[in-house]
Amino acid sequence: MSPPARLLAIAGSDPSGGAGLQADLKTCAAFGVYGMTAVTAITVQNTLGVSHVEVLSADLVVAQIRAVLEDMGTDVIKIGMLGRAETVEAVADVLDELAPETPIVLDPVMLATSGGRLLEEKAVNTLKQHLLPMADLITPNVDEAEILTGIRPEDTEGLKAAGDKLLEMGVGAALMKGGHVDGAMITDVLVSPQGQNIMISPRLHSRHTHGTGCTLATAVACGLALGLEMEAAVHQAREYVYEAIKNAPKLGAGHGPLGHNLAGPDTGREAEQTEADNPFSVLKNL
């Protein structure tokens, strides 16, 4: 029996199990990928919001990463909440040393849904300087895109413009998430050197969306770990998150968690399907 695909997630802990490393591990399990973690912060949160955050020392975060990479290795790295500038720089340095060729999916976690800041303001420039050029894919929402690029995407053209700006800043590709843009459909744009792929899917009207960003980025990383090309991994991840929202366990009084375990992907299915088979549509290389 061959060893499983491996994923190292570097992110914060969510005791409610909906986001952060807990969501990362549930997503890995759904994809059949072996998940490993390096904890960057302990948060106190539930579906109603984040009430407290304690960021671990950069040395402790790096020690966890070293322990995993020097023994078990990984096929892909997913980075979420980092919290402080020192942690951003230290993570970039250790990954450059130990895993310079390993694909990195960066979810630039900056703000909680409740509005609390999860990345200190002075760390944004450090992120731009040290981690953006290392990322094979970045997955910002509208607020994160504005913080990173100065462009607030209000429509598809804005998503494309912000994605182009991120490529200019050194990222390999950008999945620009349009969930916060008004409309009956959700439009995401995958911007890469090969072009701009506009991906459209139905909007699910649900309050159970806690951890969608973490889950989407990890689902893409799982696809890459399993050998999919970037575009196919993104399509599969979007469908997984859609099903996970549909199958949410409906827990909590606020933004509830997704049904990670009820939405396992069909990894054998072709990424592109006809609209009759699939509510997702794609406009390629625009």
- CATH number of residue 105's parent domain: 3.40.1190.20
What was the pLDDT predicted at 114? 58
Give the active site residue among 113, 126, 156, 212.
212
Report the C-alpha gap between 141 and 275 in whole angstroms: 26
Mean pLDDT (whole number) for 26-54: 96
Question: Residue 245 pLDDT more than 90?
Answer: yes
Place of tokens 């997704």: 258
Q: Is residue 90 included in any domain, yes or no?
A: yes
Q: Is residue 27 included in any domain, yes or no?
A: yes
The question of whether 214 is a catalytic residue gets the answer yes
Q: Is residue 166 included in any domain, yes or no?
A: yes
Question: Residue 100 pLDDT more than 70?
Answer: yes
Q: Is residue 206 included in any domain, yes or no?
A: yes
Give the active site residue among 26, 28, 177, 187.
177
Give the residue, 277 or 217, on which the prediction is more confident: 217
The question of whether 177 is a catalytic residue gets the answer yes
Number of domains forming the structure of the chain: 1
Give the active site residue among 18, 20, 213, 223.
213
pLDDT band at 282 (very low <50, low <70, confident <90, very high): low
Its domain, for residue 246, covers 6-283
**Phi/psi zone of residue 112: left (φ > 0), alpha (ψ -120 to 50 degrees), beta?**
beta
3-state helix, strand, coil in the chain (%, to 5): 35, 20, 40
Q: Is residue 1 included in any domain, yes or no?
A: no
- The mean predicted confidence, pLDDT, of the chain is 91
Question: Residue 269 pLDDT more than 50?
Answer: no
The question of whether 215 is a catalytic residue gets the answer no
The question of whether 209 is a catalytic residue gets the answer yes
What token pair was written down for 234? 């993104």
Q: Is residue 201 included in any domain, yes or no?
A: yes
Report the C-alpha gap between 284 and 65 in whole angstroms: 37
CA angle 88, 136, 71 (to 5 degrees): 65
pLDDT band at 252 (very low <50, low <70, confident <90, very high): very high
Mean pLDDT (whole number) for 121-140: 95
Taking only the tens place, the pLDDT of each residue in 177-236 is 987 777 778 899 999 999 999 999 988 889 998 999 999 999 999 999 999 999 999 999
Q: Is residue 104 included in any domain, yes or no?
A: yes
The question of whether 156 is a catalytic residue gets the answer no
